[in-house]
Structure 1
Amino acid sequence: MSLQEVLQQRISSAQSLLQQAQDLCGGGRVEGGESCWGGCGPSCASCGGCRVKGGGEGVSPAQQQPDAPDGHRGVSAERGGVVALLHVFRYTDSEGDPRSLQVDVVSDGGLTWVKAVGRKAEALHSIWQGGGQYGEKSIISQARDFLSASQQQEVQYKHPHVVFAFYNGVSHAMAQQLGVMGVSVRGDIVAVNAMMGEEIEGEGVGEEPEGEGEGEEPDEDGEEEPPSPIVAVNAMMEEGEEQPVEEGEGPNGGRSLVKGRGRVKGRSLMRTPPPPGVLARLSFPAQRLPLSCLRVNLDITTLISCVSSLSHGGCFFSFREGVLTEQAAQERLSPVLPQLRAFMEGKQLFACSAAVTDFRLILETLGGPGEKQRGEQLLRSLTLMEDQPSQRSLNLTLSHKVTQRSVSIFGTGDSLRAVTMTANGRFVRAAANQGVRYNVFMHQPRALTEGKEWRATPI
């Protein structure tokens, strides 16, 4: 391939990457989208494409490599349900020290963490075997950090699934080790050197897969760990079409790989040969949609939104109060009640004493006749609970954003392992800043307006 062709390929790759990043961060709907966009720009500029028309003069050999921007491909829009890019999670390591971890892509509503790996398979394997620089972590060590952090985070009381996406390949032995640990692998499984045959048979240099080997101690209750599921690497796809090979679930939904013969019931699975040096291609695991938590805790803002005249057809007014006029406009554009009902459908609904007491007081003071009637009907449909905030909620430092009432409401939902429905984003963010992340369903607020309609202007 000529230099001109290589550089043209670089330009096309960079432009595609920039477009994907722009699509993700468009409208600010994905947290970290702007950071992704800013990081892709230098990759595009460094590819040497700006000097293609001049014949490629002054373009370094490194800039001629067609895969230089691959480290940023992991933050592209190829996965569904992306909610954050380059997000930093905080966790505590095994020694109790605070640590932080950057996740390239948080997708599937928060249930999948994707790490994009752009280094070549040979370099990754060398580091794993001890050939890296002092203090340089191997992918296996990084995987342990990801698994440790994911076990300290919850999305609807489920721990995130970890995926490592290798855009320049990964050795078979490393992919196998990651699968045993519970990390799903995406990318090409490649042969990196002459020792791969030994490694595939389980005699490779480096860290031994956990849970394998002789003389292994049984667990505390006297039972050995069950063997990790296996998948054949020779289950390949049609030429030019990437398909996931058959997978088994590991401890974290991961997959494990061993050498296979490429035949099932007497027929070959390798209909066409893979590219030279590629043993198998693994696509992303199936999208893991958040499993619905069947318990829902309603806070005061949600109780009010459920009975507000605004959400029951009274949004065609211009009120004297600017905030009410704004909420009415929001309701006309995006009605909140259908969203709330859809989320609550088929679930057990709870409300704690702190929420119910203040809701009744607000309803009695500001509510109109229709709002009061709907309020009593709503309370009869709920399971009323005494305040029982979780211990981590009680440990929060109180402030003008973190009030005792909010601690009681959100903390009770936390104790019940229920998702708290709320429009109180101030408290959710303030609690997160103190290290307490609640499982919440956020929605727009709606105020009680029936008593103010008489002096509002119909529209």
Structure 2
Amino acid sequence: MESIQPLIDKAHELIQRADQLQSKEPSVRSVPKLSKRIKAELNFLHTLQSGDVELKENQLQSTNLTHLEAVLSAAESLPGVSDIFSAKHATDEKGNQKTLVIDVIANHGAIWVKVTARRGHALYRVWQGEGDYGDKDIVEQALEYNNFASSNPVKFIVPKVHVMFLKGLPSEVKGELESVGIATHGHVLSNTDDHRIDVPCFDWSVLKELKVIHAGDPRRNRVNLDVSTMIAMTSNLTHNGCWFDYPECLLINDQAIEERHHPQLTALYDILKGKQLFACSTAITIYKDIVGNVAGPMEQARAKMLLTKVRIVDDCVSKRTQELGWSNKIKERPKIIFGTGDALEMVTVSANGSFIRSASKHNITYAVDLHQSRAFTERKEAQAVTIKKDDAFKRINLEQILRDLLNPS
């Protein structure tokens, strides 16, 4: 029973670390799922310790704690972690849907991580076809990650697969994985006798700066603007018009309150900096109509300035968007706008989160950067009540955004 207590202590330590990760990085999804798995291992160890179940040595050797600790360490070390044990879906050549659970997703979706805590010598034996029944070849597992990554692009870019080898990486395995574009990390074993020596502890610190760069990919430099985004970029509300109370319109008043605390042009600047602006014909037609009927003089002047920097493309709706059924939340206009961005492989910038959520219920995920909605307000300022300006932000205006575009025309 003495051999069980260190494992129980380790489980308690991992639960505490998982709680700390959840507190420090609340945006990381599925940390509770990781905690649940650790607690299940802990309950199993308590059952063994109680003597209710006959203790066998292989039960302690087969505990998942080592793997769970490795996944947690990866989540603590990698930059931009968004999910742990994330279920991804793909369709095989026969049309059947398959599911694969990814250990860690990092770099805001651009990196998929597979962690293995098996000894390098054991991995080598399985790779050679000498493993026991049920043993999984790490190369086959990594290739499956690669196949699923191809079916789950993030903003049209296929995620890069990385495999972390905690207890040694056979050089032959390293060579095969890297030949198909899979990155490897771990102490390289130069020959099969290396299993006799202790492998250095895995250095998690080297992962903190791990990133994927797609500088040469033009899809990273183009964005498709929704009508809601063009309105937000040119509204008085985002140009110091938030320092009013709008008692006649609760919706605009709520947006003014939001804008005081969350300036949307700052968020949009981060999205649009270094990008080329595109919009489909339908979006431009609708935007011009709204500007002509609702916008005030300064808002109209900004709209004219913005449109000189936007390249107009013909409506070109992707096939999957055409097949998307109509509903109260899925209407023709957003289908055209998002469908065009989808067909031309451009990220769509929008405040229309309801369309995105509705589409996801039909298993369609669009490449999108969402922001808060802002309305035209200049004509309503005459009836609004001026409030004291107490601004803690250095606000950005439309001119600054347009100045820092990629090769603005």
Using the TM superposition, give the Cα deviation of residue 82 of structure 1 relative to its aligned residue in structure 2, in angstroms: 0.9
Which of 274, 281, 300 is the aligned partner of 1:372?
300
Using the TM superposition, give the Cα deviation of residue 369 of structure 1 relative to its aligned residue in structure 2, in angstroms: 2.8
Task: State the match for 2:40 in structure 1.
Answer: 42
Task: State the match for 2:185 in structure 1.
Answer: 186
Which of 74, 83, 89 is the aligned partner of 2:71?
74
1:164-203 alignment runs, 5 A limit: 164-189=163-188, 196=192
1:149-298 alignment runs, 5 A limit: 149-189=148-188, 196=192, 276-278=197-199, 287-289=210-212, 291=214, 293-298=220-225
Whole-Å separation in 2 of the counterparts to 1:275 and 1:10: 28
Structure 1, unmatched stretches of 5+, are: 201-273
Whole-Å separation in 2 of the counterparts to 1:111 and 1:361: 38
TM-score by length of 2: 0.77
What SS does the aligned partner of 1:35 have? helix
User: 2:229 touches 2:349 (CA, 8 Å); kept in 1?
Assistant: yes
Whole-Å separation in 1 of the counterparts to 2:28 and 2:288: 37
Task: State the match for 2:316 in structure 1.
Answer: 388
Task: State the match for 1:313 in structure 2.
Answer: 240
Whole-Å separation in 2 of the counterparts to 1:177 and 1:46: 37
- CA displacement 1:172-200 (0-9 Å, x = unmatched): 44334323333222334458xxx926xx9
Using the TM superposition, give the Cα deviation of residue 45 of structure 1 relative to its aligned residue in structure 2, in angstroms: 5.2
Whole-Å separation in 2 of the counterparts to 1:126 and 1:116: 18
User: 2:321 touches 2:339 (CA, 8 Å); kept in 1?
Assistant: yes
Whole-Å separation in 1 of the counterparts to 2:115 and 2:21: 19
User: 2:105 touches 2:112 (CA, 8 Å); kept in 1?
Assistant: yes
Cα–Cα, structure 1 residues 278 and 46, in superposed 2: closer, same or farther, change >3 Å? Answer: same
User: 1:14 touches 1:69 (CA, 8 Å); kept in 2?
Assistant: no
TM-score by length of 1: 0.70
- CA displacement 1:295-334 (0-9 Å, x = unmatched): 1111011111111222111112333344333322222222
Cα–Cα, structure 1 residues 410 and 127, in superposed 2: closer, same or farther, change >3 Å? Answer: same
Aligned letter for 2:29? E
User: 1:352 touches 1:384 (CA, 8 Å); kept in 2?
Assistant: yes
Using the TM superposition, give the Cα deviation of residue 403 of structure 1 relative to its aligned residue in structure 2, in angstroms: 2.0
User: 1:166 touches 1:186 (CA, 8 Å); kept in 2?
Assistant: yes
What SS does the aligned partner of 2:299 have? helix
Whole-Å separation in 2 of the counterparts to 1:116 and 1:395: 38
Which of 312, 316, 326 is the aligned partner of 1:398?
326
Cα–Cα, structure 1 residues 70 and 327, in superposed 2: closer, same or farther, change >3 Å? Answer: farther
Whole-Å separation in 2 of the counterparts to 1:402 and 1:133: 50
Whole-Å separation in 2 of the counterparts to 1:313 and 1:306: 12
Whole-Å separation in 2 of the counterparts to 1:453 and 1:34: 47
Task: State the match for 2:274 in structure 1.
Answer: 346
Task: State the match for 1:214 in structure 2.
Answer: none
Using the TM superposition, give the Cα deviation of residue 149 of structure 1 relative to its aligned residue in structure 2, in angstroms: 1.2
User: 1:103 touches 1:115 (CA, 8 Å); kept in 2?
Assistant: yes
Larger RCO (alpha carbons 8 Å, 6+ apart): 2
Using the TM superposition, give the Cα deviation of residue 336 of structure 1 relative to its aligned residue in structure 2, in angstroms: 1.0
What SS does the aligned partner of 2:343 have? helix
Task: State the match for 1:443 in structure 2.
Answer: 371
Using the TM superposition, give the Cα deviation of residue 11 of structure 1 relative to its aligned residue in structure 2, in angstroms: 2.6
- CA displacement 1:222-271 (0-9 Å, x = unmatched): xxxxxxxxxxxxxxxxxxxxxxxxxxxxxxxxxxxxxxxxxxxxxxxxxx
Cα–Cα, structure 1 residues 132 and 66, in superposed 2: closer, same or farther, change >3 Å? Answer: closer
What SS does the aligned partner of 2:99 have? strand
Whole-Å separation in 2 of the counterparts to 1:118 and 1:338: 43
Cα–Cα, structure 1 residues 423 and 12, in superposed 2: closer, same or farther, change >3 Å? Answer: same
Q: How many residue pairs were aligned?
A: 374
User: Identity percentage over the alignment?
Assistant: 28
Cα–Cα, structure 1 residues 66 and 151, in superposed 2: closer, same or farther, change >3 Å? Answer: closer
Task: State the match for 1:267 in structure 2.
Answer: none
Task: State the match for 2:251 in structure 1.
Answer: 323
Whole-Å separation in 2 of the counterparts to 1:27 and 1:185: 26
Whole-Å separation in 2 of the counterparts to 1:324 and 1:96: 48
User: 1:116 touches 1:164 (CA, 8 Å); kept in 2?
Assistant: yes
What SS does the aligned partner of 1:131 have? coil
Cα–Cα, structure 1 residues 408 and 104, in superposed 2: closer, same or farther, change >3 Å? Answer: same
Cα–Cα, structure 1 residues 357 and 435, in superposed 2: closer, same or farther, change >3 Å? Answer: same
Whole-Å separation in 2 of the counterparts to 1:132 and 1:40: 26
What SS does the aligned partner of 1:74 have? helix
Using the TM superposition, give the Cα deviation of residue 382 of structure 1 relative to its aligned residue in structure 2, in angstroms: 1.0
Cα–Cα, structure 1 residues 180 and 411, in superposed 2: closer, same or farther, change >3 Å? Answer: same
Whole-Å separation in 2 of the counterparts to 1:180 and 1:289: 18
What SS does the aligned partner of 1:86 have? strand
Task: State the match for 2:287 in structure 1.
Answer: 359
Using the TM superposition, give the Cα deviation of residue 7 of structure 1 relative to its aligned residue in structure 2, in angstroms: 4.1
User: 2:244 touches 2:381 (CA, 8 Å); kept in 1?
Assistant: yes
Cα–Cα, structure 1 residues 384 and 161, in superposed 2: closer, same or farther, change >3 Å? Answer: same
